[in-house]
């Protein structure tokens, strides 16, 4: 049933695309590959990267008409795929069949003459379409279909969830509404490709690759765009034998990998700042453990983090992608837990002592490995199934995982999403965080090697703790909320949608009830310590009463979240 649902969704996406022929073929191939378990992560990324290189991003006048737009653009080459979206104005992503069309299009572009300022004459693939005054301007802009690139507000989400028939359906609905669309992912790859053009001025063979939630299949609309500058293709060995001579480049030496990464990022960051159209608020954060350049890409609306030399993080994105592919329940549970955590302030967009989405995802994976019938294999098992060609050692860390997913044999676990969600909260509401470390490599609790409040072993850099930043207060809040939510999911008023409810506004129940403001959050640090063992708080009592009376009163409260 779950896979039927995602097939339906995939079909809906396809019918939305105007020039879907190629997309359909690609999608079918991917689906067929996925069915056979053969769709490899790297093949999918390469495909998207190649599409992005054949694409341009065009800012359009507000009254643009789709037909006129396509007629004009198609003069330069065959348009394979396109879509419109709204950011600061209307934008179009246009994917041509071949790169030559971009050369033809650029040959027709001019550098604007700005009146009071001067322009940096950098010819990127971020363009603006203007009316010239000749021909007729259209006012049929209302015919444009605009893609959504932001998640719906929480009160709307709650309404959608409350209208579902079961908690399992609620989790599926949440994933459907929040996950990145194909178009959004294309736009993310396009932004990477546009930035690559800037970095390529110094390193022509470089690639900028997205990682993290853009590619790990757990990304929510609006999430940041994590990228890394991949220079590995440049340093390939090319020894000629026989002549007794060889040539090598003279290079500047840095004192360590880190200092080289810092200087490369510093220069690229400067170029992005000075020459990158649409890139604003550039900050170079070069002294972080993982040096990065942070900026906003205005035309796409993405918050961007550019790192370099970050192959391990790419591998952990692949690992998450693989786990997400193995069983549809994994993504549904992760989306639900991430959303729950965000609403209750367990995670935050501001860096600090909060639990991150990455840590939260690993917590879910670990829980699924710890079921009586494990729903997921351990990372060691994924490594043991790998072919010799899958072998991957990065900076001395064994990052090998199987790429052919059909080799993975799963155990028969038939738990419903409702049961998994409830037991997730119970599991972490009672977890021995003080003595135990979470380890998805072994799929077992381990003794903590250090005294940080929360210890989650980095899957590949096993000496690192991915949740080192988390302090006792934040861990306690997480545990308190887990207990509260576990308790809520035992209440029959929370578990069932009220029979006969047909009103437009359905009171929140199930997952939607878990998203209501929490006592652990609103009580503040002082009050929380006292209240954390009393989940039957005033809030819950009120909620239960409103659910019992089925007056719809709780629905109004939700909109305040």
Instruction: Verify binding: residue 439, ligand CTP, rule CB under 6 A.
Output: no
Q: Which is nearer to ligand CTP, 320 or 481 (CB)?
A: 320
- Partner touching 313 among Mg ion, ligand CTP, none, CB below 5 to 8 Å by kind: ligand CTP
Separation of first and last alpha carbons in the chain: 32
- Partner touching 278 among Mg ion, ligand CTP, none, CB below 5 to 8 Å by kind: none
Find the helix packing angle between 328-343 and 167-178, rounded to 10°.
Answer: 80
Q: CA–CA separation, 32 vs 23, rounded Å?
A: 14
Burial class (CB in 10 A: 0-12, 13-18, 19+), 233: exposed
Contact 69, 56 (CB under 8 A): no
Of 313, 339, 392, 513, the one binding ligand CTP by CB under 6 A: 313
Instruction: Give min distance, CB of 150 to ligand CTP, in A.
Output: 14
Q: CA–CA separation, 184 vs 171, rounded Å?
A: 21
Residue 236 CB coordination number (10 Å)? 7
Q: Which is nearer to ligand CTP, 494 or 515 (CB)?
A: 515
Of 45, 175, 316, 369, the one binding ligand CTP by CB under 6 A: 316
Instruction: Verify binding: residue 213, ligand CTP, rule CB under 6 A.
Output: yes
Instruction: Give min distance, CB of 492 to ligand CTP, in A.
Output: 34
Contacts of 311 (CB under 8 A, 6+ apart): 228, 230, 232, 394, 399
| Residues 52/56/59/61 CA torsion (nearest 10 deg) | -130
Instruction: Verify binding: residue 317, ligand CTP, rule CB under 6 A.
Output: yes
In the structure encoding, which two tokens stand for residue 66, read together? 């789709």
Q: CA–CA separation, 353 vs 373, rounded Å?
A: 34
Burial class (CB in 10 A: 0-12, 13-18, 19+), 370: middle
Instruction: Verify binding: residue 390, Mg ion, rule CB under 5 A.
Output: no
Binding mask 245-284 vs ligand CTP (x if CB under 6 A, - otherwise)?
----------------------------------------
Of 39, 95, 183, 226, the one binding ligand CTP by CB under 6 A: 226
Instruction: Verify binding: residue 510, ligand CTP, rule CB under 6 A.
Output: no
Q: Which is nearer to ligand CTP, 356 or 381 (CB)?
A: 356
Contact 306, 292 (CB under 8 A): yes
Contact 265, 230 (CB under 8 A): no
Q: Which is nearer to ligand CTP, 81 or 474 (CB)?
A: 474
Q: Where is 187: in which H helix or E strand?
A: helix 182-199
User: Which of 34-42, 96-104, 218-226, 442-450 is the region at the interface with ligand CTP (rule: CB under 6 A)?
Assistant: 218-226
Binding mask 335-364 vs ligand CTP (x if CB under 6 A, - otherwise)?
---------------------xxx------
| Angle value at C-alpha 555, between 550 and 558, nearest 5 degrees | 145
User: Which of 166-174, 210-218, 242-250, 407-415 is the region at the interface with ligand CTP (rule: CB under 6 A)?
Assistant: 210-218
Paired with 457 in beta bridges are: 465
User: Which of 109-117, 220-228, 251-259, 483-491 is the region at the interface with Mg ion (rule: CB under 5 A)?
Assistant: 220-228
Instruction: Give min distance, CB of 117 to ligand CTP, in A.
Output: 35
Of 157, 334, 466, 511, the one binding ligand CTP by CB under 6 A: 466
Of 343, 339, 303, 354, the C-alpha closest to 468 is 354
Contact 306, 265 (CB under 8 A): yes
Beta strands in 97-197 (DSSP E): 126-128, 146-147
Of 197, 224, 404, 415, the one binding ligand CTP by CB under 6 A: 224
| Site residues (CB under 6 A) for ligand CTP, limited to 363-422 | none
User: Which of 11-19, 120-128, 207-215, 401-409 is the region at the interface with ligand CTP (rule: CB under 6 A)?
Assistant: 207-215
* List of residues contacting Mg ion (CB under 5 A): 212-213, 224, 226
* List of residues contacting ligand CTP (CB under 6 A): 211-213, 216, 219, 223-224, 226, 313, 316-317, 356-358, 466
């Amino acid at each position: 049933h779950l896979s039927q649902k995602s097939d339906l969704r995939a079909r809906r996406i396809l019918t939305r695309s105007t020039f879907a022929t190629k997309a359909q073929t690609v999608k079918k191939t991917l689906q067929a590959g996925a069915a056979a378990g053969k769709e490899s992560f790297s093949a999918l990324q390469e495909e998207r990267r190649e599409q992005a290189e054949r694409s341009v991003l065009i800012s359009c006048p507000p009254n643009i008409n789709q037909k006129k737009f396509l007629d004009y653009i198609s003069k330069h080459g065959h348009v394979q795929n396109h879509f419109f979206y709204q950011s600061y104005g209307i934008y179009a992503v246009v994917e041509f069949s071949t790169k030559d069309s971009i050369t033809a299009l650029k040959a027709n572009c001019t550098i604007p003459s700005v009146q009071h300022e001067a322009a940096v004459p950098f010819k990127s693939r971020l363009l603006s379409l203007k009316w010239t005054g000749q021909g007729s301007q259209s006012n049929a802009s209302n015919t444009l279909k605009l893609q959504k690139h932001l998640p719906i507000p929480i009160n709307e989400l709650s309404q959608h969830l409350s209208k579902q028939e079961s908690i399992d359906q609620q989790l599926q609905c949440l994933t459907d509404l929040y996950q990145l669309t194909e178009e959004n992912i294309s736009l993310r790859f396009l932004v990477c490709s546009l930035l690559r053009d800037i970095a390529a001025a110094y390193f022509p063979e470089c690639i900028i690759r997205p990682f993290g939630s853009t590619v790990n299949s757990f990304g929510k609309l609006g999430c940041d765009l994590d990228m890394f500058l991949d220079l590995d293709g440049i340093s390939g060995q090319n020894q000629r034998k026989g002549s007794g001579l060889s040539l090598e480049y003279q290079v500047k030496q840095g004192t360590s990998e880190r200092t080289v990464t810092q200087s490369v990022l510093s220069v690229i960051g400067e170029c992005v700042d000075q020459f990158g159209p649409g890139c604003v608020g550039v900050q170079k954060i070069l002294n972080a453990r993982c040096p990065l350049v942070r900026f906003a890409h205005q035309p796409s609306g993405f918050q961007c983090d550019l790192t370099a030399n970050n192959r391990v993080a790419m591998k952990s994105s692949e690992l998450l992608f693989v786990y997400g592919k193995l069983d549809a329940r994994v993504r549904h549970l992760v989306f639900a837990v991430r959303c729950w955590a965000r609403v209750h302030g367990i995670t935050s967009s501001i860096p600090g002592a909060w639990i991150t989405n990455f840590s939260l995802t690993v917590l879910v994976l670990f829980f699924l490995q710890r079921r009586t019938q494990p729903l997921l294999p351990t990372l060691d098992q994924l490594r043991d199934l790998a072919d010799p060609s899958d072998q991957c050692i990065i900076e001395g860390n064994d990052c090998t995982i199987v790429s052919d997913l059909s080799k993975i044999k799963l155990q028969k676990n038939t738990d419903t999403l409702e049961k998994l969600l409830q037991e997730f909260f119970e599991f972490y509401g009672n977890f021995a965080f003080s003595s135990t470390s979470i380890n998805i490599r072994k799929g077992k609790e381990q003794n903590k090697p250090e005294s940080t409040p929360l210890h989650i072993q980095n899957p590949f850099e096993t000496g690192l703790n991915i949740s080192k930043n988390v302090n006792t207060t934040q861990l306690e809040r997480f545990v308190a909320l887990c207990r509260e939510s576990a308790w809520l999911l035992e209440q029959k008023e929370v578990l069932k949608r009220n029979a006969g409810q047909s009103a437009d506004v359905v009171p929140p129940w199930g997952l939607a009830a878990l998203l209501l403001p929490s006592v652990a959050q609103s009580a503040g640090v002082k009050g929380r310590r006292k209240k954390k063992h009393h989940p039957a708080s005033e809030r819950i009592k009120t909620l239960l009463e409103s659910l019992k009376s089925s007056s719809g009163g709780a629905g109004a409260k939700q909109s305040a979240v």
